[in-house]
Structure 1
Amino acid sequence: MNVLLRTLLVAAVLSQAASVAAQARAAASAGDGAQQPGPVDAVGPVWPRLSQAQRDEVMRFGEDFKQFIGRAKSAMTFVHQALAIVEAAGFKPWPGSPTRADVRPGSRWYAVNRDRTIIAFVIGTDPLTSGARIVNTHNDSVHLELKPKPFRDSFDIALLDTSVHGGIKNYQWVNRPLALIGRIVKTDGTIVSVDIGHAPGDPVLLIPDLAPHVDRDFLDRRNRDVIQTEELDPVLALTSEAATAALRERYGLTRDDFLSTDLQIVPAQMPVDIGLDRQLVGAFGHDDRSNGFAAFRAIVDVRNPAKTAIAYGVNNEEVSSWTTGVASEWFRTRLAEIIAAQEPVYSDLMLRHALGASNVLVSDCTTALDPNFPQPYLPNGSARLGWGLVFKEYGSGRQADSEYFAKLRRLFTGAGVHWQTHAYKAGYGGGTIAQWFANADIDAADVGIGILSMHSPMDVSAKVDLWELYRGFKAFLGATPVATSATAGR
């Protein structure tokens, strides 16, 4: 079965390579000035079909993304970085009691929920009761976090007792530099921000593993259990006394202060280019802060949309919802406030009508076809790195209605956005929070980018895919389109 699958995959790749070569020859004869050198029905890698100006824009966008995601390693730091983007573009904090003057068309606002969820929106010329255009992403990624009483000693060495946020492969987190970030809130309300492991000269944490000389008693462990979850405890200091002294000296903290913390253990490494052509990015937290970056970059390009345009980044997608997740009433309340400011009289029915008339793109990462492990993928039906943004068709009722999908196909193709579709082989796959929007009577579709090594300390994406996602978001949210040729996806 593996041999057959690999044979099919090689055939598909060779066919695509021939197509790309033909497109490249056509592009060379047309010159670099063309907006879309390839034929309108081209399918495959996007890079060969871009002009030199577009390639330069992709690389600049990729550098901006690396700077962003290197600083945004948690939900709170994502919100901080997203705020910097929208505030620089003139967005203002949403008032506590908005009036009609606050909802004039084209006005630009943001709101933040408990420092972990953020929306940025541009008021449309149509009333919100006629629907909104929403791009939803999530701000959290897999990570390690501390138990309520995290300090423990093992043979006199001070360790931190951790738990896992989201689904990870434990063995990927050992023997690598780790940082401790987040906040501690003291009983008097004082907030202490913590960032250990990122500044030059900072110490780091590390989860040790056995050397191959002494691991024979553990060789029967299988895959996910090679390192068990209760063994994901990093070294904090050589002794507990030294650890306590260091925390007191640097942050003025005691052990009791750690009862009320939001601290995360994340990879200390900064984003890097992958590959000699520098077209790929390796970074922690692609899922889903890469899509969030594209969404908040897109919303600042929206000026005077017909429908109110919203970029909405939520917390806790990887585990549940709570007060800062998608199931919170916080988002509905902001919509209700907009409607109440626009209309002479407000009723709950208006909010229901607004939701039913809205469209949403729920943007999350998906697993791109892995060249080393192609077995779980469809050779001609799974996402590829560098082939554009991804429509995720999960099946089993978890996908956009055909009518809505057709509308999005028309929109993206007309805007010259390169896109592809993704489906899983039977028995594989993940999920997203699109169900919440669907349950609210909103037309919802799953989109995103494909990445390699998903949910690992270093995911890998193609810069051109993220750029195409950003362009797709702009078209969806109602930004003024740039003249370009139509495209088609697969």
Structure 2
Amino acid sequence: MTAAHAQIADLGAYVSASPSSFHAAHQGGVRLEAAGFTRLHEADAWDGGPGRFYVIRDGALIAWITPPSATETTVFHILGAHTDSPSFKLKPKPTIGRHGWLQAGVEIYGGPLLNSWLDRELALAGRVVTHDGAEHLVHTGPLLRFPQLAIHLDRSVNDGLKLDKQQHMNPVWGLGDPARADLLQILAVDADLEARDIGGFDVVVADTQQPRVFGADGEFFASGRLDNLSSVHAGLTALIQATRNDAGSAPIAVLAAFDHEEVGSGSRSGASGPFLEDMLHRISAGLGAGEEQRRRAFASSFCVSADAGHAVHPNYAERHDPANHPVLGGGPLLKINANQRYTTDAPGAAYWARLCRDAGAPYQEFVSNNVMPCGSTIGPLTATRLGIRTIDVGVPLLSMHSARELCGVEDPYQLTRVARRFFSVPQDPVS
């Protein structure tokens, strides 16, 4: 097994254990604890100083390594990603149904490819909170399905499928009278509770099909939630593996995995919120930094915003820029947009090229076709909020926002190699 295949197997295990953002943050914490990181709680006093630490805020996680040589003006090397993926979220009254069917009332979360969720065995996952405030992670087995209408009842379906988000996107989960059933009881049983114990819940729908390597030479990897657990996993792996650097130039290496990117990042655990800024301020305060020293550190710090991007689609090549056709297996993308939907600029691009060269990893540029609207990432939000120079990168995908996305086996491995170099390299980013 190659190093890339070993890592892709571990990525598959992480994705399978992370059906919701809350699970992704929790599983990140499990891995960090095993690697010697200490969990801190925001309501507690922190001693500061060197060490390996992490904090979980809802479905987001921030972890960092403060080297023994750190001072008030030590710079931060930050890799930003996000833990959430497009899906469906349970509504406050989730038990619905008609005509003898039990259905789940769900609200669309983000921008999923609706048709990709049809005719799949699906689970519910997330957190439930009891009336005493205790949080419990839940993850059912296969439970739900969005059944597609048979072609015999819609002969024109192959000429164009149109799904009404309210009418057609309520999955079935059983048979019976919804007045006599309670979907919350299934979640309660998973948490060893009773439905009456649940005071609130944040629960999403997740695909249950296992990740799979395939292709003529085993070069492809199919899985749910690669946007953006591929980046979270790369950041976790790189931070855990980061070379110990006690020299005076060693940076403070930070992984920031936010929630709610798919719905705009406007939350206490999203990139538009104060989470990262809070953590950076507390880390620098623990080193004795005042406002001037912190601003000096930020001025020379660097952020790599890692989020999945688009590979060229062989059946829709006209939707891509004609001169930039990134492919699976060609290395991570450097994402560029003139309108600052991505934050990459010339100094940042030069720094990324140097990181990749030193890590021995290939990379590819991505830019949108001028007639295709460009998505965005946490990059512009982080740069705007903190004033830290930021670039946008990510693993190339096909079928982005599908229930089951596709990447190349080599690309997450190459992103991890560059991230590891970024976390370990002396503090010499562009100014």
Structure 1 residue 460, shift from structure 2 partner = 0.7
- Within the candidate set 221, 241, 245, 1:304 is matched to 245
The match for 1:179 is 123
Shift of 1:403: 1.7
Query: Which runs of structure 2 are paired with 1:76-91 in the superposition (5 Å)?
Result: 76-91=22-37
Residue 300 of structure 1 aligns to a residue in which SS?
A: helix
Q: 1:271/1:427 Cα in 2 relative to 1: closer, same or farther (>3 Å)?
A: same
Please give the alpha-carbon distance, in whole angstroms, between the structure 2 residues aligned to 1:206 and 1:237: 10
Superposed displacement of residue 357, structure 1? 2.2
1:375 is aligned to 2:318:
yes
Structure 2 CA distance for partners of 1:221 and 1:354, relative to 1, 3 Å: farther
Match of 1:163 in 2: 107
| SS of aligned partner of 2:132 | coil
Show structure 1 runs of 4+ deviating over 4 A. Answer: 218-223, 242-246, 248-252, 256-259
Kindly provide the CA deviation profile for residues 72-95 of structure 1, in whole angstroms up to 9, marking residues without a partner as x.
Answer: 121111112211221111111236
In structure 2, the partner of 1:336 is: 281
Q: Which residue of 2 aligns with 1:214?
A: 153
Contact 2:95 2:181 in 1 (8 A): no
The CA distance in 2 between the partners of 1:415 and 1:195, in whole Å, is 38
Task: Tell me whether 1:364 sits opposite 2:307 in the alignment.
Answer: yes
Q: How does 1:419-430 map to 2 (within 5 A)?
A: 419-428=363-372, 429-430=374-375
Instruction: Tell me the residue number matched to 1:226.
Output: 163
Change (3 A) 1:160 1:245: closer
Q: CA deviation at 1:352?
A: 3.1
1:458-473 correspondence to structure 2 within 5 Å = 458-473=404-419
Q: Which amino acid aligns with 1:163?
A: E
SS of 1:231 mapped into structure 2: coil
Superposed, 1:80-119 pairs within 5 Å as 80-94=26-40, 96-99=44-47, 102-104=48-50, 107-114=51-58, 116-119=59-62
Is 1:269–2:214 an aligned residue pair? no
Change (3 A) 1:192 1:156: farther
Instruction: Give me the identity figure in percent.
Output: 26
User: How many positions carry a matched residue from both structures?
Assistant: 411
Structure 1 residues 474-489: aligned runs within 5 Å: 474-478=420-424
- Measured in 2, the distance between the counterparts of 1:161 and 1:128 equals 51
Matched, 1:236 2:177: no
Letter in 2 for 1:394: N
TM superposition shift of 1:284? 0.3
Task: Write the deviation string for residues 445-486 of structure 1: whole angstroms up to 9, x where unpaired.
Answer: 000110111000100111111110000101111169xxxxxx
Alpha carbons of 1:399 and 1:331: their partners in 2 closer, same or farther (altered >3 Å)? closer
Distance 2:183 2:273 in 1: 37
Aligned: 1:404 with 2:351:
no
1:129 aligns to what SS in structure 2?
A: coil
2:336 corresponds to which residue? 393
**Structure 2 contact 116–404 (Cα < 8 Å) conserved:** no
Q: Could you say which residue in structure 1 is the equivalent of 2:14? A: 68
- Work out whether residues 128 and 307 of structure 1, in 8 Å CA contact, stay in contact via their aligned partners in 2: no
Query: Which residue of structure 1 aligns with residue 84 of structure 2?
Result: 140
- 1:278 counterpart letter in structure 2: G
* Aligned residue in 2 for 1:352: 295
The amino acid that maps onto 2:46 is P
2:360 equivalent in structure 1: 416
TM-score (norm 1): 0.79
1:455 aligns with 2:380: no
Match of 1:326 in 2: 271
Could you tell me how far 1:126 is from its partner in structure 2?
A: 3.9
Deviation at 1:259?
6.2
Q: Give the match's secondary structure for 2:261.
A: coil
Counterpart Cα distance in 1 of 2:283 and 2:93 = 43
Decide whether the 8 Å contact of 2:23 with 2:137 is kept in 1: no
Question: 2:393 is matched by which residue type in structure 1?
Answer: V
Which TM-score applies when normalising by structure 2?
0.89
Structure 2 CA distance for aligned equivalents of residues 479 and 84 of structure 1: 26
Unaligned runs of 5+ in 1: 1-54, 198-202, 481-490
The CA deviation at 1:227 is 4.6
The 3 A distance-change label for structure 1 pair 433 and 263 is: same
Q: Hey, what does 1:123 align to over in structure 2?
A: 66
Partner Cα separation in structure 2 for residue 193 and residue 111 of structure 1: 17
Counterpart of 2:397 in structure 1: which amino acid?
I
Q: Deviations over 1:28-63 (max 9, x none)?
A: xxxxxxxxxxxxxxxxxxxxxxxxxxx711111111
Alignment deviations for residues 360-405 of structure 1 (CA, whole Å, 9 cap, x no partner): 0000001111122222113541321000111011222343221222
* Aligned-partner residue type, residue 226 of structure 2: H
- Aligned-residue offset at 1:64: 1.2
Counterpart-to-counterpart distance in 2, 1:455 and 1:249: 31
For 1:314 and 1:409, locate their aligned partners in 2 and report how far apart those are by CA, in whole Å.
Answer: 26
Give, in angstroms, the shift of residue 153 of structure 1: 2.1
Query: Which has more helix, going by share of residues?
Result: 1
466-475 or 171-180, which moves further after superposition? 171-180
CA distance in 1, matches of 2:231, 2:320: 22
- Relative distance call for 1:452 and 1:154 in structure 2 (3 A) is same
Deviations 1:282-340 (A, max 9, x none): 10000001111000100012222611111110100000321111122222222122222
- Given that residues 205 and 235 in structure 1 are in contact (C-alpha distance below 8 angstroms), is that contact kept between their aligned partners in structure 2? yes
Report SS of the residue matched to 1:153. Answer: strand
Distance 1:309 1:249 in 2: 40
CA-CA distance at 1:192 after TM superposition: 4.3
2: CA distance between counterparts of 1:128 and 1:326?
25
Choose the corresponding residue for 2:143, options 179, 198, 204.
204
